[in-house]
Structure 1
Amino acid sequence: MADGMDPKKIPQGVFDLYDAYCHGRMSRRAFFANLKTYAVGGLTVSSLAACMMPDYSQAQTVEDEEGLVADMVLYQSPRGAGEMAGYFVRPAGSDVLPGVVVVHENRGLNPHIKDVARRVALAGYVAFAPDALYPLGGYPGTDDEGRELQKQRTSEDMLADFMAAAEFLRNHEATTGKIGCTGFCFGGAITNLMAVKQPWLGCAVPYYGGWPSVEEAATLQVPLMEHMAETDGWVNAGWPAYKAALDAAGKTYEAYTYPGTQHGFNNDTTPRYDAEAAALAWGRTLDFFKRYLT
Protein backbone atom coordinates (compact mmCIF):
# COMPACT_ATOMS: atom_id res chain seq x y z
CA MET A 1 0.00 0.00 0.00
CA ALA A 2 1.11 3.51 -0.69
CA ASP A 3 1.20 4.61 2.96
CA GLY A 4 2.82 1.42 4.26
CA MET A 5 0.01 0.56 6.70
CA ASP A 6 -0.03 -3.08 7.81
CA PRO A 7 -3.23 -4.67 6.40
CA LYS A 8 -3.51 -6.81 9.54
CA LYS A 9 -4.00 -3.66 11.60
CA ILE A 10 -6.89 -2.36 9.50
CA PRO A 11 -10.22 -2.93 11.30
CA GLN A 12 -12.64 -5.28 9.55
CA GLY A 13 -15.19 -2.48 9.52
CA VAL A 14 -12.97 -0.47 7.17
CA PHE A 15 -12.84 -3.38 4.73
CA ASP A 16 -16.63 -3.70 4.97
CA LEU A 17 -17.11 0.01 4.23
CA TYR A 18 -14.79 -0.14 1.24
CA ASP A 19 -16.55 -3.24 -0.05
CA ALA A 20 -19.91 -1.45 0.12
CA TYR A 21 -18.45 1.65 -1.53
CA CYS A 22 -16.62 -0.08 -4.38
CA HIS A 23 -19.68 -2.18 -5.20
CA GLY A 24 -22.02 0.79 -5.36
CA ARG A 25 -23.96 0.09 -2.17
CA MET A 26 -22.58 3.24 -0.52
CA SER A 27 -21.78 6.69 -1.89
CA ARG A 28 -18.28 8.16 -1.75
CA ARG A 29 -19.53 10.77 0.72
CA ALA A 30 -21.01 8.12 3.01
CA PHE A 31 -17.82 6.04 2.76
CA PHE A 32 -15.68 8.91 4.01
CA ALA A 33 -18.22 9.90 6.63
CA ASN A 34 -18.35 6.39 8.08
CA LEU A 35 -14.57 6.09 8.14
CA LYS A 36 -14.58 8.65 10.97
CA THR A 37 -15.62 5.84 13.31
CA TYR A 38 -12.21 4.21 12.77
CA ALA A 39 -10.08 7.36 12.76
CA VAL A 40 -8.60 6.78 16.21
CA GLY A 41 -5.17 6.04 17.67
CA GLY A 42 -3.35 8.25 15.21
CA LEU A 43 -5.30 7.08 12.17
CA THR A 44 -7.01 9.70 10.02
CA VAL A 45 -9.89 9.41 7.57
CA SER A 46 -7.56 10.30 4.70
CA SER A 47 -4.96 7.69 5.67
CA LEU A 48 -7.61 4.99 6.06
CA ALA A 49 -9.10 5.85 2.68
CA ALA A 50 -5.68 5.97 1.01
CA CYS A 51 -4.68 2.57 2.35
CA MET A 52 -7.76 0.96 0.78
CA MET A 53 -7.22 2.37 -2.71
CA PRO A 54 -5.32 0.29 -5.29
CA ASP A 55 -1.68 1.12 -5.91
CA TYR A 56 -0.87 -0.22 -9.35
CA SER A 57 2.75 0.96 -9.24
CA GLN A 58 3.49 -1.59 -6.50
CA ALA A 59 2.27 -4.78 -8.12
CA GLN A 60 3.00 -5.53 -11.76
CA THR A 61 3.94 -9.18 -11.70
CA VAL A 62 4.59 -9.71 -15.41
CA GLU A 63 6.22 -7.00 -17.49
CA ASP A 64 5.12 -6.55 -21.11
CA GLU A 65 8.49 -7.55 -22.51
CA GLU A 66 8.79 -10.92 -20.75
CA GLY A 67 8.53 -13.00 -23.91
CA LEU A 68 4.99 -11.85 -24.64
CA VAL A 69 3.31 -10.03 -27.51
CA ALA A 70 0.50 -7.71 -26.37
CA ASP A 71 -1.79 -5.21 -28.06
CA MET A 72 -5.26 -3.75 -27.93
CA VAL A 73 -7.40 -5.25 -30.69
CA LEU A 74 -10.91 -4.57 -31.94
CA TYR A 75 -13.73 -7.09 -32.20
CA GLN A 76 -17.46 -7.01 -32.88
CA SER A 77 -20.22 -7.46 -30.32
CA PRO A 78 -23.47 -7.37 -32.34
CA ARG A 79 -25.75 -7.92 -29.33
CA GLY A 80 -23.80 -5.54 -27.10
CA ALA A 81 -21.86 -2.38 -27.85
CA GLY A 82 -21.12 -3.10 -31.50
CA GLU A 83 -17.44 -2.31 -31.83
CA MET A 84 -15.42 -3.40 -28.81
CA ALA A 85 -11.75 -3.65 -27.86
CA GLY A 86 -9.67 -5.85 -25.62
CA TYR A 87 -6.13 -6.54 -24.47
CA PHE A 88 -4.79 -9.45 -26.53
CA VAL A 89 -1.62 -11.09 -25.22
CA ARG A 90 0.20 -14.32 -26.06
CA PRO A 91 3.65 -15.87 -25.85
CA ALA A 92 5.96 -14.56 -28.56
CA GLY A 93 6.67 -16.95 -31.44
CA SER A 94 4.12 -19.49 -30.27
CA ASP A 95 2.06 -21.87 -32.36
CA VAL A 96 -1.69 -21.96 -31.89
CA LEU A 97 -2.69 -22.19 -28.23
CA PRO A 98 -5.86 -22.50 -26.13
CA GLY A 99 -7.42 -19.18 -25.19
CA VAL A 100 -8.70 -17.62 -21.98
CA VAL A 101 -11.04 -14.63 -21.66
CA VAL A 102 -10.17 -12.52 -18.59
CA VAL A 103 -13.11 -10.49 -17.28
CA HIS A 104 -12.37 -7.37 -15.25
CA GLU A 105 -13.98 -6.04 -12.09
CA ASN A 106 -16.64 -3.30 -12.01
CA ARG A 107 -14.22 -0.57 -13.07
CA GLY A 108 -12.96 -1.40 -16.53
CA LEU A 109 -9.70 -2.79 -17.85
CA ASN A 110 -7.32 -1.46 -15.21
CA PRO A 111 -3.58 -2.24 -14.93
CA HIS A 112 -4.18 -5.12 -12.51
CA ILE A 113 -6.42 -7.02 -14.94
CA LYS A 114 -3.93 -6.44 -17.75
CA ASP A 115 -1.33 -7.97 -15.46
CA VAL A 116 -3.57 -10.98 -14.83
CA ALA A 117 -3.93 -11.41 -18.60
CA ARG A 118 -0.14 -11.42 -18.94
CA ARG A 119 0.08 -14.08 -16.21
CA VAL A 120 -2.36 -16.22 -18.20
CA ALA A 121 -0.30 -15.76 -21.36
CA LEU A 122 2.93 -16.55 -19.54
CA ALA A 123 1.33 -19.86 -18.51
CA GLY A 124 0.96 -20.77 -22.20
CA TYR A 125 -2.39 -19.38 -23.35
CA VAL A 126 -3.73 -16.66 -25.60
CA ALA A 127 -5.32 -14.25 -23.13
CA PHE A 128 -7.99 -11.74 -24.09
CA ALA A 129 -9.19 -9.11 -21.61
CA PRO A 130 -11.98 -6.92 -23.04
CA ASP A 131 -12.65 -3.43 -21.74
CA ALA A 132 -16.36 -2.91 -21.09
CA LEU A 133 -15.63 0.82 -20.96
CA TYR A 134 -14.32 0.97 -24.54
CA PRO A 135 -17.65 2.39 -25.88
CA LEU A 136 -17.28 5.20 -23.32
CA GLY A 137 -13.66 6.00 -24.13
CA GLY A 138 -11.95 3.14 -22.26
CA TYR A 139 -10.61 2.78 -18.75
CA PRO A 140 -10.23 6.41 -17.58
CA GLY A 141 -7.13 6.01 -15.44
CA THR A 142 -8.61 5.60 -11.95
CA ASP A 143 -10.89 2.97 -10.49
CA ASP A 144 -13.25 5.56 -9.00
CA GLU A 145 -13.84 7.09 -12.42
CA GLY A 146 -14.05 3.62 -13.95
CA ARG A 147 -16.79 2.55 -11.54
CA GLU A 148 -18.83 5.64 -12.39
CA LEU A 149 -18.43 5.03 -16.12
CA GLN A 150 -19.37 1.36 -15.87
CA LYS A 151 -22.66 2.32 -14.21
CA GLN A 152 -23.64 3.90 -17.53
CA ARG A 153 -23.71 0.48 -19.21
CA THR A 154 -26.22 -2.30 -18.63
CA SER A 155 -25.16 -5.67 -17.29
CA GLU A 156 -26.97 -7.34 -20.19
CA ASP A 157 -24.99 -5.44 -22.82
CA MET A 158 -21.69 -6.05 -21.06
CA LEU A 159 -22.43 -9.76 -20.76
CA ALA A 160 -23.07 -9.80 -24.51
CA ASP A 161 -19.72 -8.08 -25.06
CA PHE A 162 -17.79 -10.66 -23.05
CA MET A 163 -19.63 -13.55 -24.67
CA ALA A 164 -18.74 -12.06 -28.07
CA ALA A 165 -15.12 -11.88 -26.91
CA ALA A 166 -15.16 -15.62 -26.23
CA GLU A 167 -16.52 -16.26 -29.73
CA PHE A 168 -13.87 -13.94 -31.19
CA LEU A 169 -11.14 -15.83 -29.38
CA ARG A 170 -12.65 -19.20 -30.36
CA ASN A 171 -12.40 -18.30 -34.04
CA HIS A 172 -9.05 -16.51 -33.92
CA GLU A 173 -6.22 -18.02 -35.95
CA ALA A 174 -3.91 -17.86 -32.91
CA THR A 175 -6.06 -20.26 -30.85
CA THR A 176 -6.94 -23.94 -30.98
CA GLY A 177 -10.60 -23.07 -30.48
CA LYS A 178 -10.53 -24.39 -26.91
CA ILE A 179 -11.51 -21.41 -24.78
CA GLY A 180 -11.87 -20.91 -21.04
CA CYS A 181 -12.77 -17.87 -19.01
CA THR A 182 -11.99 -16.38 -15.64
CA GLY A 183 -13.10 -13.20 -13.91
CA PHE A 184 -13.09 -11.31 -10.65
CA CYS A 185 -15.97 -9.73 -8.70
CA PHE A 186 -18.22 -8.32 -11.48
CA GLY A 187 -16.06 -10.44 -13.75
CA GLY A 188 -16.73 -13.47 -11.58
CA ALA A 189 -20.46 -12.96 -12.01
CA ILE A 190 -20.02 -12.58 -15.78
CA THR A 191 -17.89 -15.76 -15.84
CA ASN A 192 -20.62 -17.67 -13.99
CA LEU A 193 -23.16 -16.46 -16.55
CA MET A 194 -20.93 -17.32 -19.50
CA ALA A 195 -20.63 -20.84 -18.07
CA VAL A 196 -24.40 -21.40 -18.30
CA LYS A 197 -24.96 -19.48 -21.53
CA GLN A 198 -22.02 -20.73 -23.63
CA PRO A 199 -22.01 -24.51 -23.20
CA TRP A 200 -19.18 -24.92 -25.71
CA LEU A 201 -16.66 -23.28 -23.34
CA GLY A 202 -13.84 -25.54 -22.17
CA CYS A 203 -14.06 -24.36 -18.55
CA ALA A 204 -14.93 -21.39 -16.34
CA VAL A 205 -13.17 -20.15 -13.20
CA PRO A 206 -15.04 -17.33 -11.39
CA TYR A 207 -13.49 -15.54 -8.43
CA TYR A 208 -15.91 -14.16 -5.80
CA GLY A 209 -18.67 -13.28 -8.25
CA GLY A 210 -22.44 -13.28 -8.18
CA TRP A 211 -24.61 -16.20 -9.20
CA PRO A 212 -26.90 -17.17 -12.08
CA SER A 213 -30.44 -18.24 -11.25
CA VAL A 214 -31.15 -21.66 -9.78
CA GLU A 215 -32.99 -22.46 -13.02
CA GLU A 216 -29.82 -21.72 -14.99
CA ALA A 217 -27.81 -24.03 -12.73
CA ALA A 218 -29.60 -26.99 -14.29
CA THR A 219 -28.31 -25.99 -17.75
CA LEU A 220 -24.63 -25.92 -16.78
CA GLN A 221 -22.45 -28.06 -19.04
CA VAL A 222 -19.11 -26.29 -18.55
CA PRO A 223 -16.50 -27.51 -16.02
CA LEU A 224 -16.68 -24.99 -13.20
CA MET A 225 -14.26 -23.96 -10.45
CA GLU A 226 -15.43 -21.37 -7.90
CA HIS A 227 -13.07 -19.34 -5.68
CA MET A 228 -14.62 -17.50 -2.71
CA ALA A 229 -13.35 -15.37 0.16
CA GLU A 230 -14.40 -16.33 3.67
CA THR A 231 -15.16 -12.74 4.70
CA ASP A 232 -17.48 -11.88 1.84
CA GLY A 233 -21.03 -12.03 3.13
CA TRP A 234 -22.62 -10.13 0.24
CA VAL A 235 -21.37 -12.57 -2.41
CA ASN A 236 -21.42 -15.71 -0.29
CA ALA A 237 -25.07 -15.24 0.70
CA GLY A 238 -26.12 -16.46 -2.75
CA TRP A 239 -23.85 -19.51 -2.86
CA PRO A 240 -25.92 -22.01 -0.79
CA ALA A 241 -28.93 -21.72 -3.10
CA TYR A 242 -26.82 -21.98 -6.25
CA LYS A 243 -24.83 -24.88 -4.81
CA ALA A 244 -28.04 -26.68 -3.91
CA ALA A 245 -29.33 -26.18 -7.45
CA LEU A 246 -26.09 -27.54 -8.93
CA ASP A 247 -26.24 -30.53 -6.62
CA ALA A 248 -29.90 -31.19 -7.36
CA ALA A 249 -29.12 -31.20 -11.08
CA GLY A 250 -26.18 -33.56 -10.56
CA LYS A 251 -23.62 -31.08 -11.84
CA THR A 252 -19.90 -31.55 -11.26
CA TYR A 253 -17.97 -28.53 -10.01
CA GLU A 254 -15.18 -27.54 -7.66
CA ALA A 255 -15.58 -24.80 -5.04
CA TYR A 256 -13.02 -23.40 -2.63
CA THR A 257 -13.40 -20.90 0.19
CA TYR A 258 -10.16 -19.39 1.51
CA PRO A 259 -10.07 -18.91 5.31
CA GLY A 260 -9.50 -15.43 6.64
CA THR A 261 -9.65 -13.76 3.23
CA GLN A 262 -11.46 -10.65 2.07
CA HIS A 263 -13.40 -10.14 -1.17
CA GLY A 264 -10.74 -9.30 -3.76
CA PHE A 265 -8.02 -11.40 -2.14
CA ASN A 266 -6.40 -12.08 -5.52
CA ASN A 267 -5.83 -8.39 -6.26
CA ASP A 268 -2.26 -7.65 -5.20
CA THR A 269 -2.69 -3.89 -5.49
CA THR A 270 -4.92 -3.51 -2.40
CA PRO A 271 -4.72 -4.47 1.29
CA ARG A 272 -7.36 -7.15 0.69
CA TYR A 273 -4.67 -9.18 -1.05
CA ASP A 274 -3.76 -12.47 0.59
CA ALA A 275 -0.55 -13.79 -0.98
CA GLU A 276 -0.94 -17.37 0.25
CA ALA A 277 -4.58 -17.70 -0.79
CA ALA A 278 -3.98 -15.98 -4.12
CA ALA A 279 -1.10 -18.31 -4.96
CA LEU A 280 -3.14 -21.38 -4.02
CA ALA A 281 -6.17 -20.23 -6.03
CA TRP A 282 -4.05 -19.32 -9.04
CA GLY A 283 -2.28 -22.67 -8.97
CA ARG A 284 -5.63 -24.43 -8.90
CA THR A 285 -6.85 -22.21 -11.74
CA LEU A 286 -3.89 -23.05 -13.97
CA ASP A 287 -4.28 -26.76 -13.18
CA PHE A 288 -7.95 -26.50 -14.20
CA PHE A 289 -7.04 -24.76 -17.46
CA LYS A 290 -4.46 -27.45 -18.21
CA ARG A 291 -6.96 -30.20 -17.49
CA TYR A 292 -9.74 -28.85 -19.72
CA LEU A 293 -8.07 -26.68 -22.37
CA THR A 294 -4.93 -28.55 -23.39
Structure 2
Amino acid sequence: MVLETQWVRYGKNKEHIGYMAKMDRANENLPAVLVIQEIWGVDEHIQDITNRFAQAGYLAFAPDLYAKNGERIEELRTERVKEVKVFLDSLPHSAWNNPGERDQALAKLNAEKQDRVTKTFEKMFGGIHSSDYIEELLATTKYIREECPSSNGQGVVSIGFCMGGALSGLLSCRDEQLNGAVIFYGNAPSEDELQNINCPIYGFYGDQDKRITDNVPAFAEQMKQNGKNFDYQIYPQTGHAFFNDTRASYNVVAARDAFQRVLSFFHDCLNQ
Protein backbone atom coordinates (compact mmCIF):
# COMPACT_ATOMS: atom_id res chain seq x y z
CA MET A 1 0.00 0.00 0.00
CA VAL A 2 1.30 3.42 -0.95
CA LEU A 3 -0.23 6.51 0.58
CA GLU A 4 -0.23 9.92 -1.01
CA THR A 5 0.01 12.53 1.75
CA GLN A 6 0.35 16.29 1.65
CA TRP A 7 -0.34 19.49 3.53
CA VAL A 8 -3.04 21.49 1.75
CA ARG A 9 -3.83 25.20 1.94
CA TYR A 10 -7.50 26.06 1.48
CA GLY A 11 -10.19 28.57 2.36
CA LYS A 12 -11.25 31.81 0.71
CA ASN A 13 -7.81 33.32 1.16
CA LYS A 14 -5.90 30.07 1.68
CA GLU A 15 -5.88 30.87 5.38
CA HIS A 16 -6.34 27.25 6.51
CA ILE A 17 -4.03 24.26 6.29
CA GLY A 18 -4.68 20.56 6.72
CA TYR A 19 -3.04 17.16 6.45
CA MET A 20 -4.58 15.08 3.64
CA ALA A 21 -4.07 11.41 2.82
CA LYS A 22 -5.40 8.94 0.24
CA MET A 23 -4.29 5.79 -1.52
CA ASP A 24 -2.15 6.77 -4.48
CA ARG A 25 -3.98 4.36 -6.83
CA ALA A 26 -7.41 5.72 -5.93
CA ASN A 27 -8.06 7.99 -8.90
CA GLU A 28 -11.84 8.32 -8.56
CA ASN A 29 -13.51 10.80 -6.21
CA LEU A 30 -13.63 9.32 -2.71
CA PRO A 31 -15.99 9.74 0.22
CA ALA A 32 -14.18 11.61 2.96
CA VAL A 33 -13.39 11.33 6.64
CA LEU A 34 -12.71 14.57 8.49
CA VAL A 35 -10.35 13.83 11.41
CA ILE A 36 -10.52 16.44 14.18
CA GLN A 37 -7.51 16.77 16.44
CA GLU A 38 -7.08 16.26 20.14
CA ILE A 39 -5.88 19.20 22.17
CA TRP A 40 -2.32 18.27 21.15
CA GLY A 41 -2.95 19.37 17.56
CA VAL A 42 -2.35 17.53 14.29
CA ASP A 43 0.57 15.60 15.73
CA GLU A 44 2.05 12.27 14.64
CA HIS A 45 -0.83 10.38 16.25
CA ILE A 46 -3.56 12.34 14.44
CA GLN A 47 -1.64 12.02 11.18
CA ASP A 48 -1.43 8.27 11.79
CA ILE A 49 -5.21 8.05 12.33
CA THR A 50 -5.73 10.06 9.14
CA ASN A 51 -3.50 7.58 7.29
CA ARG A 52 -5.52 4.65 8.65
CA PHE A 53 -8.72 6.01 7.13
CA ALA A 54 -6.92 6.64 3.85
CA GLN A 55 -5.77 3.01 3.87
CA ALA A 56 -9.41 2.01 4.39
CA GLY A 57 -10.26 3.68 1.07
CA TYR A 58 -11.30 7.18 2.07
CA LEU A 59 -9.98 10.65 1.40
CA ALA A 60 -8.89 11.58 4.92
CA PHE A 61 -8.32 15.16 6.02
CA ALA A 62 -7.14 16.63 9.34
CA PRO A 63 -7.33 20.44 9.56
CA ASP A 64 -4.69 22.07 11.75
CA LEU A 65 -6.88 24.19 13.99
CA TYR A 66 -3.85 25.77 15.65
CA ALA A 67 -2.50 27.27 12.42
CA LYS A 68 -3.23 30.69 10.98
CA ASN A 69 -2.25 31.35 7.37
CA GLY A 70 -0.32 28.09 7.31
CA GLU A 71 1.73 28.69 10.47
CA ARG A 72 1.16 27.75 14.09
CA ILE A 73 0.61 30.68 16.43
CA GLU A 74 3.55 31.14 18.81
CA GLU A 75 2.04 29.62 21.97
CA LEU A 76 0.82 26.57 20.03
CA ARG A 77 3.88 25.74 17.97
CA THR A 78 4.53 22.01 17.76
CA GLU A 79 7.56 22.06 20.04
CA ARG A 80 5.71 24.14 22.65
CA VAL A 81 2.74 21.76 22.69
CA LYS A 82 5.09 18.77 23.00
CA GLU A 83 6.79 20.45 25.93
CA VAL A 84 3.48 20.80 27.75
CA LYS A 85 2.54 17.20 26.92
CA VAL A 86 5.82 15.89 28.35
CA PHE A 87 5.32 18.03 31.46
CA LEU A 88 1.75 16.81 32.03
CA ASP A 89 2.68 13.18 31.36
CA SER A 90 5.20 13.44 34.19
CA LEU A 91 2.36 14.23 36.64
CA PRO A 92 -0.52 12.14 38.01
CA HIS A 93 -3.67 12.80 35.94
CA SER A 94 -5.31 14.45 38.96
CA ALA A 95 -2.84 17.33 38.62
CA TRP A 96 -4.06 18.28 35.14
CA ASN A 97 -7.07 20.06 36.59
CA ASN A 98 -5.54 20.88 39.96
CA PRO A 99 -3.76 24.26 39.86
CA GLY A 100 -2.06 23.63 43.20
CA GLU A 101 -0.45 20.38 42.11
CA ARG A 102 0.54 21.84 38.75
CA ASP A 103 2.09 24.92 40.32
CA GLN A 104 4.22 22.76 42.61
CA ALA A 105 5.55 20.86 39.61
CA LEU A 106 6.03 24.04 37.57
CA ALA A 107 8.09 25.56 40.37
CA LYS A 108 10.72 22.87 39.82
CA LEU A 109 11.33 24.02 36.22
CA ASN A 110 13.78 26.75 35.30
CA ALA A 111 12.22 30.19 34.89
CA GLU A 112 12.33 30.25 31.07
CA LYS A 113 10.76 26.81 30.68
CA GLN A 114 8.22 27.57 33.39
CA ASP A 115 7.10 30.66 31.46
CA ARG A 116 6.77 28.75 28.17
CA VAL A 117 4.86 25.85 29.70
CA THR A 118 2.53 28.14 31.61
CA LYS A 119 1.64 30.29 28.59
CA THR A 120 1.07 27.32 26.30
CA PHE A 121 -0.92 25.42 28.92
CA GLU A 122 -3.16 28.45 29.50
CA LYS A 123 -3.69 28.87 25.75
CA MET A 124 -4.50 25.19 25.21
CA PHE A 125 -6.70 24.57 28.23
CA GLY A 126 -8.11 27.99 29.05
CA GLY A 127 -7.98 30.24 26.03
CA ILE A 128 -9.72 28.03 23.47
CA HIS A 129 -13.41 27.33 23.07
CA SER A 130 -15.05 24.86 20.70
CA SER A 131 -17.03 27.61 19.02
CA ASP A 132 -13.76 29.26 17.98
CA TYR A 133 -13.16 26.46 15.49
CA ILE A 134 -16.57 25.68 14.06
CA GLU A 135 -16.29 28.13 11.14
CA GLU A 136 -12.96 26.60 10.15
CA LEU A 137 -14.47 23.12 10.26
CA LEU A 138 -17.38 24.27 8.09
CA ALA A 139 -14.87 25.74 5.64
CA THR A 140 -13.08 22.39 5.67
CA THR A 141 -16.14 20.28 4.85
CA LYS A 142 -17.04 22.79 2.12
CA TYR A 143 -13.56 22.43 0.64
CA ILE A 144 -13.72 18.63 0.79
CA ARG A 145 -17.16 18.48 -0.88
CA GLU A 146 -16.79 21.23 -3.46
CA GLU A 147 -13.14 21.91 -4.23
CA CYS A 148 -10.85 19.01 -3.35
CA PRO A 149 -10.16 17.12 -6.61
CA SER A 150 -10.11 13.76 -4.79
CA SER A 151 -13.47 14.07 -3.02
CA ASN A 152 -15.50 16.65 -4.95
CA GLY A 153 -19.21 15.79 -4.79
CA GLN A 154 -18.81 12.97 -2.28
CA GLY A 155 -20.16 12.54 1.25
CA VAL A 156 -18.28 13.58 4.38
CA VAL A 157 -18.24 12.08 7.88
CA SER A 158 -16.36 13.39 10.92
CA ILE A 159 -14.47 11.85 13.81
CA GLY A 160 -12.81 13.65 16.70
CA PHE A 161 -10.99 12.89 19.92
CA CYS A 162 -11.42 14.68 23.27
CA MET A 163 -11.57 18.35 22.22
CA GLY A 164 -12.04 17.10 18.66
CA GLY A 165 -14.79 14.76 19.82
CA ALA A 166 -16.76 17.69 21.14
CA LEU A 167 -16.13 19.52 17.87
CA SER A 168 -17.30 16.50 15.84
CA GLY A 169 -20.57 16.56 17.77
CA LEU A 170 -20.91 20.31 17.36
CA LEU A 171 -20.20 20.06 13.63
CA SER A 172 -23.10 17.65 13.28
CA CYS A 173 -25.33 20.42 14.63
CA ARG A 174 -24.03 23.03 12.20
CA ASP A 175 -23.33 21.17 8.94
CA GLU A 176 -26.63 20.10 7.39
CA GLN A 177 -24.84 17.95 4.80
CA LEU A 178 -22.68 15.93 7.21
CA ASN A 179 -23.37 12.22 6.71
CA GLY A 180 -22.33 11.03 10.16
CA ALA A 181 -20.27 11.99 13.20
CA VAL A 182 -18.18 10.06 15.73
CA ILE A 183 -17.33 11.37 19.20
CA PHE A 184 -14.42 9.83 21.08
CA TYR A 185 -14.55 10.81 24.77
CA GLY A 186 -15.69 14.37 24.03
CA ASN A 187 -18.37 16.55 25.55
CA ALA A 188 -21.81 16.26 23.95
CA PRO A 189 -23.54 19.18 22.22
CA SER A 190 -26.01 21.12 24.34
CA GLU A 191 -29.68 20.16 24.22
CA ASP A 192 -30.42 23.31 22.24
CA GLU A 193 -27.69 22.51 19.71
CA LEU A 194 -28.60 18.85 19.22
CA GLN A 195 -32.05 19.74 17.93
CA ASN A 196 -30.29 20.73 14.68
CA ILE A 197 -28.54 17.39 14.15
CA ASN A 198 -29.44 15.75 10.84
CA CYS A 199 -27.08 12.75 10.82
CA PRO A 200 -26.37 9.66 12.93
CA ILE A 201 -23.86 9.97 15.79
CA TYR A 202 -21.78 7.26 17.44
CA GLY A 203 -19.94 7.84 20.73
CA PHE A 204 -17.06 5.92 22.33
CA TYR A 205 -16.18 6.29 26.01
CA GLY A 206 -14.25 4.75 28.89
CA ASP A 207 -16.10 3.97 32.11
CA GLN A 208 -13.30 5.47 34.22
CA ASP A 209 -13.53 8.80 32.39
CA LYS A 210 -16.24 9.98 34.77
CA ARG A 211 -16.20 13.68 33.83
CA ILE A 212 -17.27 12.79 30.29
CA THR A 213 -18.95 9.40 30.54
CA ASP A 214 -21.31 10.17 33.42
CA ASN A 215 -23.13 12.59 31.09
CA VAL A 216 -23.63 10.10 28.25
CA PRO A 217 -26.94 8.54 29.42
CA ALA A 218 -28.54 11.99 29.67
CA PHE A 219 -27.25 12.85 26.19
CA ALA A 220 -28.66 9.59 24.84
CA GLU A 221 -32.05 10.36 26.37
CA GLN A 222 -32.05 13.88 24.92
CA MET A 223 -31.22 12.47 21.49
CA LYS A 224 -34.03 9.93 21.78
CA GLN A 225 -36.56 12.55 22.86
CA ASN A 226 -35.60 14.69 19.86
CA GLY A 227 -35.85 11.79 17.41
CA LYS A 228 -32.10 11.71 16.71
CA ASN A 229 -29.96 8.67 15.92
CA PHE A 230 -27.32 8.05 18.62
CA ASP A 231 -25.47 4.87 19.53
CA TYR A 232 -22.60 4.53 21.96
CA GLN A 233 -20.12 2.18 23.58
CA ILE A 234 -18.75 2.50 27.11
CA TYR A 235 -15.74 0.26 27.65
CA PRO A 236 -15.15 -1.24 31.12
CA GLN A 237 -11.92 -0.58 33.00
CA THR A 238 -11.02 2.03 30.42
CA GLY A 239 -10.02 5.65 30.87
CA HIS A 240 -9.83 8.82 28.83
CA ALA A 241 -7.82 8.85 25.58
CA PHE A 242 -7.93 5.06 25.28
CA PHE A 243 -7.55 5.26 21.48
CA ASN A 244 -4.27 7.15 21.61
CA ASP A 245 -1.51 4.56 21.25
CA THR A 246 1.17 7.09 22.24
CA ARG A 247 -0.28 7.52 25.73
CA ALA A 248 -0.21 5.42 28.89
CA SER A 249 -4.03 5.47 28.76
CA TYR A 250 -4.09 3.38 25.54
CA ASN A 251 -6.34 0.31 25.76
CA VAL A 252 -5.69 -2.00 22.82
CA VAL A 253 -8.87 -4.08 23.30
CA ALA A 254 -11.16 -1.04 23.43
CA ALA A 255 -9.30 0.70 20.59
CA ARG A 256 -9.48 -2.36 18.34
CA ASP A 257 -13.20 -2.82 18.93
CA ALA A 258 -13.92 0.89 18.47
CA PHE A 259 -12.03 1.14 15.19
CA GLN A 260 -13.91 -1.70 13.52
CA ARG A 261 -17.21 -0.22 14.74
CA VAL A 262 -16.25 3.19 13.32
CA LEU A 263 -15.41 1.72 9.93
CA SER A 264 -18.75 -0.11 9.81
CA PHE A 265 -20.60 3.03 10.93
CA PHE A 266 -18.91 5.21 8.30
CA HIS A 267 -19.64 2.65 5.60
CA ASP A 268 -23.33 2.72 6.49
CA CYS A 269 -23.48 6.52 6.73
CA LEU A 270 -21.85 7.03 3.36
CA ASN A 271 -23.82 4.37 1.50
CA GLN A 272 -27.42 5.18 2.44
For 2:234 and 2:129, how far apart are their aligned partners in 1? Answer: 29
Counterpart of 1:222 in structure 2 is 199
Counterpart of 2:95 in structure 1 is none
SS in 2 for 1:206: strand
The AA in structure 2 aligned to 1:140 is: T
Aligned-residue offset at 1:246: 0.6
Q: Is contact 2:130–2:166 with CA below 8 Å preserved after alignment?
A: no
For 1:143 and 1:227, how far apart are their aligned partners in 2? Answer: 28
Aligned-residue offset at 1:254: 1.2
Pairing partner for 2:149 from 150, 173, 176: 173
Unpaired runs of 5+ residues, structure 2, are 85-116
Aligned-residue offset at 1:247: 1.2
- Say if 2:23 is the partner of 1:88: no
Aligned-residue offset at 1:122: 0.5
- Say if 2:5 is the partner of 1:67: no
Q: Is contact 1:89–1:127 with CA below 8 Å preserved after alignment?
A: yes
Aligned-residue offset at 1:249: 1.2
Aligned-residue offset at 1:147: 5.0
SS in 2 for 1:262: coil
Give deviations 1:195-254, integer Å, cap 9, x for gaps.
111121111111010111112222221111111111111112332332221111122221
Counterpart of 2:46 in structure 1 is 113
Counterpart of 1:197 in structure 2 is 174
**Percent sequence identity over aligned pairs:** 30
Pairing partner for 2:241 from 264, 271, 288: 264
Counterpart of 1:61 in structure 2 is none
For 2:158 and 2:5, how far apart are their aligned partners in 1? Answer: 18
Q: CA RMSD in A?
A: 1.9
Superposition TM-score, scaled by structure 2 size: 0.78
Q: Is contact 1:107–1:147 with CA below 8 Å preserved after alignment?
A: no
User: How many residues end up aligned between the 2 structures?
Assistant: 226
For 2:180 and 2:22, how far apart are their aligned partners in 1? Answer: 19
Aligned-residue offset at 1:139: 4.5
Counterpart of 2:109 in structure 1 is none
Q: Give structure 1 regions of 4+ aligned residues with deviation exceeding 6 angstroms.
A: none
Change over 3 Å in CA distance of 1:193–1:203 after alignment to 2: same
For 1:263 and 1:155, how far apart are their aligned partners in 2? Answer: 19
For 2:132 and 2:9, how far apart are their aligned partners in 1? Answer: 17
Counterpart of 1:275 in structure 2 is 252
Counterpart of 1:237 in structure 2 is 214
Unpaired runs of 5+ residues, structure 1, are 1-65
For 2:67 and 2:121, how far apart are their aligned partners in 1? Answer: 13
